Amino acid sequence: MAQLWGGRFTKETDQLVYDFNASIGFDQKLLHEDIAGSVAHVTMLAKQGIVTKEERDSIIAGLKSIEEDVEAGSLAVTSQYEDVHSFVEANLIERIGEAGKKLHTGRSRNDQVALDMRMYVRGHVKRTDALIKELLSVLYQKMEENLDTYMPGFTHLQKAQPVTLAHHFGAYFEMFKRDRSRMRDIYERMNYCPLGAGALAGTTYPLDREYTAQLLDFYGPTLNSMDSVSDRDYVIEFLNALSIVMMHLSRFCEEIILWNSDEYRFVEMDDAYSTGSSIMPQKKNPDIAELVRGKTGRVYGALMSLLTTMKGLPLAYNKDMQEDKEPTFDAIETVENCLTLFTGMVSTMKFRRDVMAKSAMNGFTNATDAADYLVGKGVPFRDAHGIIGKLVLYCIEKNTSIDALSLEELQGICDRFEEDVYDAVSLKTCVEKRLTIGAPGSGAMREVLEKYKEYLEGSDAE
Ligand code: ARG
């Protein structure tokens, strides 16, 4: 056991207590942030004359060598240390001696871990944003290719009105666009540096907090030292945003699973993203989509876990907050993997245009347009609705579709039908006449794609 405290203790810590208390098993993930934070801290200490330039240089060289050796695998992060902060400091002192003992001047592990966690989350806010952007680029490309891939649009999972694949993907484009804007938003609010808050009440050393903030690419220092060490709002916000990303991915996966089923046959998943069954030779299962859908639960779990951990905490730091790490790390890894796999799955998926169009034609998705046609011929909408309802019933009995009926049959139900009805209720017309912005008609969709193109060329979260 190598720990940073012990002066006031007369007994060794019980091993069980030590293990229970330790966080090295998971907070070693923060090694790079911890070292970057320490380099900035000591750089500031030297600028303020709190340590000498020689001490600074030796500390920085020591810190870098620790980082390099861990990366190279020649230095192991072991459970002999309580946490990553103790690991770094103990190794530093071992390597450079006396000067190493000065690194922690004017700092507490409370502001240190607050900084590490903030930098870690900040990095992954950017990474998530970049991964969503990659997914959006794939969706954009699929949209461009499928402006006239007609398919049924659903409400209540019942065929409703025809749309296009481009339009359907566009709905997800909007969702993921909002996810990115949440990332940017979180970044803006969280990007303030807690270092220098000390244990909770700042320090008596003349620290230059503006300077450390600047060295670490923050907008500035946080303004209340108690809040600085006990704020995990940004983690909660991030987990919330990640939960929403997962909810979107999960909905998309659910649709893909349906589309890939034998009942729909709208898409064919690439072999690389499917798996077989050990017993049923005919099976090609959409496991990746199912797993992404399934993993949504654990990300929601992380959010609930941290909200619950934080809810009763008095100011300022409490050890409960160590529990922020494992669920957060797990959620981050989960979402990043899901985004990467999902993007690959969509980009390799094949779309069966003919099956989709046929499905759109079979489900009376043109019934609204047929009613609108009668409105155009002077029938009040409510009456037209009733007439088309009867027509649908007639078609169901005869196992046919509106556009397959003869003009005589149509006129048998309403004498306002004329030859131009066929064009009016054709799949193409039904979609292409929907031209208000946001609608599936390719004219409207092209305008939207133009905006999406500009959007993708725009700046990233930061
Ligand atoms: N491992 C701790 C955490 O993750 C670091 C801070 C420890 N501070 C303390 N006062 N014991 O929260």
Q: What is the pLDDT of residues 90-113, one digit of tens each?
A: 999 999 999 999 999 999 999 999
pLDDT band of residue 7 (cuts 50, 70, 90) is: confident
Residue 158's pLDDT is 95
Whether 425 has a pLDDT exceeding 90, the answer reads yes
In the predicted model, what is the mean pLDDT of the chain? Answer: 95
Is 289's pLDDT higher than 90?
yes
pLDDT at 20: 95
**248 classed as catalytic:** no
Centre of ligand 1 to C-alpha 323, Å, is 10
pLDDT of residue 14: 86
Ligand 1 atom at minimal distance to the Cα of residue 83? 1
**pLDDT over 70 at 2, yes or no:** no
Distance 413 CA to ligand 1 centre (A): 78
pLDDT level of residue 362 (50, 70, 90 thresholds): confident
Share of the chain above pLDDT 90, in %: 91
Please give the distance, rounded to the nearest whole angstrom, from the Cα atom of residue 321 to the centre of ligand 1.
8
Residue owning tokens 């938003």: 185
> Which has the minimum average pLDDT: 32-46, 133-147, 275-289?
275-289
**pLDDT band for position 281 (cuts 50, 70, 90):** confident
| Residue 372 dihedral angles phi and psi, to the nearest 5° | -60, -35
Q: Which residue has the CA at smallest separation from atom 11 of ligand 1?
A: 319
**What average pLDDT does this structure show over 37-63?**
98
Q: Are 82 and 76 in contact (CB under 8 A)?
A: no
Q: What is the mean pLDDT of residues 453-459?
A: 92
For residues 295-312, average pLDDT: 98
Three-state helix/strand/coil letters over 60-117: HHHHHHHHHHHHHCCCCCCCCECCHHHHHHHHHHHHHHHHHHHCCCCCCHHHHHHHHH
**What residue ranges line ligand 1, CB within 6 angstroms?**
23, 27, 83, 109-110, 113, 317, 319, 321-322
pLDDT tens-digit series, residues 222-232: 999 999 999 99
The reply to whether omega before 316 is within 30° of 0 (cis) is: yes
Amino acid at 48: Q
Active-site residue (options: 38, 41, 156, 359):
156
**Phi, psi at 251, each rounded to 5°:** -65, -45
Whether the full predicted model's pTM is greater than 0.85, yes or no, is yes
Residue 277 annotated among the catalytic residues of the structure: yes
Kindly give the distance from the C-alpha atom of residue 183 to the centroid of ligand 1, in angstroms, as a whole number: 27
Structure tokens, 9: 């203790």
Instruction: Give 202's pLDDT tier (boundaries 50, 70, 90).
Output: very high
| Contact in structure between 177 and 455 (CB atoms under 8 Å) | yes
Specify the pLDDT at position 277: 74
Secondary structure string (H, E, C) spanning the chain: CECCCCCCCCCCCCHHHHHHHCCHHHHHHHHHHHHHHHHHHHHHHHHCCCCCHHHHHHHHHHHHHHHHHHHHCCCCCCCCECCHHHHHHHHHHHHHHHHHHHCCCCCCHHHHHHHHHHHHHHHHHHHHHHHHHHHHHHHHHHHHHCCCCEEEEEECCEEEEEEEHHHHHHHHHHHHHHHHHHHHHHHHHHCEECCCCCCCCCCCCCCCHHHHHHHCCCCEECCCHHHHHHCCHHHHHHHHHHHHHHHHHHHHHHHHHHHHCCCCCCEECCHHHCECCCCCCCCCECHHHHHHHHHHHHHHHHHHHHHHHHCCCCCCCCHHHHHHHHHHHHHHHHHHHHHHHHHHHHHHCEECHHHHHHHHHHCCCCHHHHHHHHHHCCCCHHHHHHHHHHHHHHHHHHCCCHHHCCHHHHHHHCCCCCCCHHHHCCHHHHHHCCCCCCCCCHHHHHHHHHHHHHHHHCCCCC
**Mean of pLDDT values over 44-65:** 98
pLDDT in tens, 269-280: 998 898 877 777
> What span, in angstroms and rounded, lies between the C-alpha atoms of 354 and 363?
15
Per-residue pLDDT tens over the stretch 337-348: 999 999 999 999
Q: What is the mean pLDDT of residues 392-399?
A: 94
Residue 175 pLDDT exceeds 90: yes
Atom of ligand 1 at shortest range from CA of 117 = 4
Q: How far apart are the first and last CA of the chain?
A: 41
Residue 461 has pLDDT above 70, yes or no: no
Query: Which of these, 2, 23, 24, lies nearest to 13 by C-alpha position?
Result: 2
pLDDT at 1: 58
Of residues 79, 181, 261, 277, which has the active-site annotation?
A: 277
pLDDT of residue 234: 98
Position 460 scores a pLDDT of 65
In this predicted structure, the answer to whether residue 456 has a pLDDT above a threshold of 60 is yes
